[in-house]
A and B are shown apart, each in its own frame.
Chain A
Amino acid sequence: MMARKRIKEYLQGYVRVEVKGKNPERLVNLCLTAGFPAWDFASKDRAILFSTTLARYRDIHRLARRARCVPHIVKRVGLPFSVGKIRRRPWFLLAATLVLAVLLYLSGSVWSVQVTGCEKVDPERVLHAAESAGLAPGVRRSNVSTFRAESAIALQVPELSWVYVRFQGMLAVIEVVEKSHPETAGPGDVVASRDGVVQSVLVLSGVPVVNPGQTVKQGDLLIAGMPSGTLPGARGSVVARTWYEIYREIPLVQQSASRTGRKIEMTVVRYRGAELTLWGKSNAFEWYEVEDYPRWKALRGTEYALQIFTRVLFELKWIRAVISPEDALAVAERQMRLTIERQLPSDAKLVDLSCKIEATTQDMIAVQATASAVEDIGEVRPWSHQETEVDR
């Protein structure tokens, strides 16, 4: 039977009728003549099936007698029949309504609470704090204030620096980030981390031992801690001028590579670290630079990643250039400044750099650089256990 959408007939209800007899075609013709609504005719085992409206079905019997056929309903379709079925099964309707209501109710509840981001903090503490703010398994989602829960967790677990509560369906997720503390040394004295001339002393606790203008060596005591005081360890900042020395040899004959303009393109396939050249020569140049341009990738992010790319080889030639000792010195100064700046602590400031040619040969110059910086040279040297006990 052809599937048809007859909304009006469905709402009013219709029946599927099977007509059996000597001449069922005659009944069809009588129906048509009488203006019966009929559709979806089908033939089956010398019988004819068709659909007609529920209201006109009773009148078919009169016509069936004239056609000497026997009609009977094989199927009832439509809203009136569906409603009748449901009305005959009140318990089914009640159970369905109940299940729907329970489902709706449960979908609005928090079934589980999950904590993510805990490394040192016990997740149970976070869950306990959330519970105190009304966020726990079983509560209604509409009754939970995420802002209140976040505030309560942040207050009750001070080790956390950030808290965020979100809902993922029936799951509540608490995302946290723990505070990170810089590691501090135990109580002790402040000593010089390197040689220098003291420029200023700032004491937060302890007794200063050095004065501005005084020269100190690495390991010298700068601020002494007092084991019997309320703040036993020495703390403070001792800014001093320090010196750095670097030695470097710069060749006077410099070689640099430059592209000749000739290039070769190759197509290469790479699979599990192995490369295979599909076409193109790879050994055409003695010296060359390589640039790869990906063309196609498959199974990315897996160990079976397959990649096809174009590899371009640029031919290089070496250019020999002789530079003067002055130019070499300028190169050395530039390189040494970069080296020293990398060596210096982040709070140190480079104030002076002087370079001096120590020796000159035909091929190279030797350069000695002296840099002057201002930095905090104080570092805490913790007391040993015995030292602390003796002092007490």
Chain B
Amino acid sequence: MFRKLRQELSEILELPLDISMDLPKVTIVGDLGVLIQNHRGLIQYSPERIVIGVGKGQIAIAGKSLEIEEVSREDMIVRGTIGSVQMEA
């Protein structure tokens, strides 16, 4: 209920949804890298699979030779051969 209200309010005020609703923003650069903004931390890390926590759920990145090139409180840059990016509830 509160979430829907926030969404509608954001649309009325023309605010970016990822900021107003605290949602993750995922940018995929071909199969070379993924930038996740507004993450909640690392859940699982292996060269084939990286699971990153986001507001409600998690993002699973599968691929080969995956590395976390840069990480800060809000942003995370994953490099490697990206196979898939999946949003999991």
Contacts and interface: CB of A to CB of B under 8 A. Distances in A.
Interface stretch (B2-10, B21-29, B67-75): B67-75
A50 B72 CA distance: 13
21 contacts: A2-B67, A2-B69, A24-B45, A25-B44, A25-B45, A28-B41, A28-B45, A29-B41, A29-B42, A32-B72, A33-B73, A38-B71, A39-B71, A40-B69, A41-B67, A41-B68, A41-B71, A42-B47, A42-B67, A43-B45, A43-B67
B59 to A, nearest CB: 14
A48 interface: yes
B43 interface: yes
Q: Which 6 A-B pairs have the closest CB atoms?
A: A41-B68, A29-B41, A25-B42, A28-B42, A43-B45, A43-B46
Interface in A28-79: 28-29, 32-33, 35, 38-44, 48, 50
A40 B72 contact: no
Contact of B71 (A1, A24, A32, A44): A32
Given A25-B42, A32-B72, A43 B47 contact: yes
Contacts, number: 46
Q: Determine which residue in B44, B66, B69 has the highest number of CB atoms from chain A within 10 A of its CB, and name it.
A: B69
A44 B46 CA distance: 7
Interface residues of A, number: 19
Interface string B24-59: 000000000000000001111111000000000000
A25 B68 CA distance: 12
A237 B14 CA distance: 117
A2 B77 CA distance: 12
> What range describes how many residues of B lie at the interface?
10 to 19
A123 B85 CA distance: 81
Of B43, B44, B71, most buried by chain A (CB within 10 Å of CB) is: B71
Contacts of A28: 41-42, 45, 71
A60 to B, nearest CB: 15
Interface of B: 41-47, 66-73, 79
Contacts of B70: 39
A42 B67 CA distance: 5
Contacts of A42: 47, 67-68
A2 B79 contact: yes
Interface string A202-215: 00000000000000
B42 A35 contact: no
Nearest to A47: B45
Most chain B CB within 10 A, of A4, A25, A38, A40, is at A25
A39 B47 contact: no
Nearest to B47: A43
A201 B6 CA distance: 130
B83 to A, nearest CB: 16
Contact of B43 (A25, A40, A44, A48): A25
A158 to B, nearest CB: 77
